[in-house]
Chains A and B, each alone.
Chain A
C-alpha cells in the first residue's frame, strides 16, 4: 500500500491527477480562473436580477430574493451529493484525495445551506406571513444543515485522519438520502413551500429574463464553489502528505513567505 502512495502514476489519463502531488499544483492553477469566472458571472447575474428581470405580478419586487435563494438551495443539495460521491469513491478505491475533497466541500455546502435558509426566511415573512414553518421542505433543508455540521464536527474531532475520513464518509452517504427528500418534498407531501419553478420534466414557469438571471447566478455559485474548494483542499493536501518529499520541496519554496 505504501508503494502506490510514494510513486504517483505517470499515465496519460486524467486519473493521474488523483495523485495529490499532481493535483496540488493543478488546483492552484485552476482556482483563480474559477474565482474570476464567479466574480464575472455574479456581476452579470446581479445586473440581470435587478435591471433586466421585470417585477413579478404576484409578489412585486420581493421576489428578487429568488436570484440567490434558489441557486443557494440547489448548491447546498448538490454539494452534499458531490461530497457523498467523493466519500464513496474514497471508501471503494481507497484514494486519499477523495476524502480531502469531501472535507474541502463541506463548509461551502453548509454556507449555501445557511444562505438558503436565511434568504428563505426573509422571503417567507413578506409573502407567506411567517419567517419559518415546519413544513416538509423547510424541515428537511434544516436537517441538511445539521448533516453538514455533523460531518464537519466529526471529521474535525476525530484525530486519526483515516478514521475521521471513514466516519465522515458514513455521515455523507447516509445523509445523501435526505437530498431527494428535500427535492421532492413539495411533490410528495403538501407543503407551504411552492413547487419547483424549474425542473427537468417540465417547461420552466418563469419569464425568460427572470430564468436567465437565476441560471447565471447558479453558474456563479458553481464557479465560486469550485474555486473555494480548490483553495481549501490545497493546505489540506500539504498537511496530510507532509511526510512526502514533494511537500518538503513545496515548503522550502514557501519558507519566509507566509
Chain B
C-alpha cells in the first residue's frame, strides 16, 4: 500500500473512532440529563416505569435501619415534601449519613418500596474546617429554637 493511501486509511479510522466515541458520549449525555428524579416527581408518577432509575434527595434523619443479616439497610429518601422508603444490600459510601444527600439507583416495587442496587453519596460544595462546621450547626440549631 502506498504511504498516502495508508495515511488516508489511518485518518479515516481515527475519524470513525472519534465520531463513534462522541456519539456514545452524547447518547449517555442525553439519557442522563436527568441524572435522578426527586421523591416528589416519583410520587407524581413522573419517574420511568419498568426500568431502573435514580432518586436523589436527603437521607431522612432517624430513618436508617440495619437488618439482622448485617448487609441489608433500610432508609428513607426525601426532598422534604415526599418520602420514599429504600431497601439496599451492600456497602455504603463513607459520606452516606442521615441528613445528607444521596442518590439511589434501582427499581420501584408495587408496594412503593424502592429496591436500590447502588447507593451514591452526594455532598455539597461547602468546604470548611470541623470547628467552623460545628459553629454553623450551633447557629442553625439556635435559629430553629428561635423559630419554634
* Chain A residues within CB distance 8 Å of chain B: 54-59, 63, 66, 126-130, 133-136, 139-140, 142-143, 146, 149-150, 153-154, 157-159, 189-192, 194-197, 205-207, 210
Contacts and interface: CB of A to CB of B under 8 A. Distances in A.
A163 B133 CA distance: 57
Contacts of B22: 143, 146, 150
A128 B94 CA distance: 8
A143 B29 CA distance: 9
Interface string B121-137: 11111111110111000
Contacts of B53: none
A129 B92 contact: yes
19 contacts: A59-B95, A59-B127, A128-B95, A129-B119, A130-B118, A133-B32, A133-B35, A133-B120, A135-B35, A136-B29, A143-B26, A153-B11, A153-B15, A158-B11, A190-B34, A190-B38, A191-B35, A192-B36, A207-B129
A190 B56 contact: yes
A192 B25 contact: no
A128 B121 contact: yes
Contacts of A126: 93-94
A241 B22 CA distance: 35
Contacts of B96: 129
Contact of B18 (A146, A158, A191, A194): A146
B143 interface: no
A149 B96 CA distance: 37
B123 A127 contact: yes
Given A136-B35, A157-B7, A189-B34, A194 B125 contact: yes
Given A58-B126, A197-B126, A146 B21 contact: yes
Nearest to A171: B18
B123 A59 contact: yes
Contacts of B35: 133-136, 189-192
B108 to A, nearest CB: 18
Contacts of B10: 157
Given A134-B28, A154-B15, 18 more contacts: A57-B128, A57-B129, A58-B123, A58-B133, A128-B95, A130-B118, A135-B32, A136-B35, A143-B26, A149-B18, A157-B14, A189-B33, A190-B36, A192-B35, A195-B125, A197-B127, A206-B127, A207-B132
B148 interface: no
A194 B120 contact: no
Centre residue among A127, A158, A205 by max chain B CB count within 10 A: A127
Nearest to A147: B22
A153 B18 contact: yes
A251 to B, nearest CB: 27
A205 to B, nearest CB: 5
A56 B127 contact: yes
A165 to B, nearest CB: 16
Interface string B13-46: 0110010011001101101111110100000000
B130 A57 contact: yes
A205 B74 CA distance: 32
B63 to A, nearest CB: 19
Contacts of B118: 129-130
Contacts of B86: none
A54 B22 CA distance: 40
Contacts of B26: 143
B129 A54 contact: yes
A173 to B, nearest CB: 16
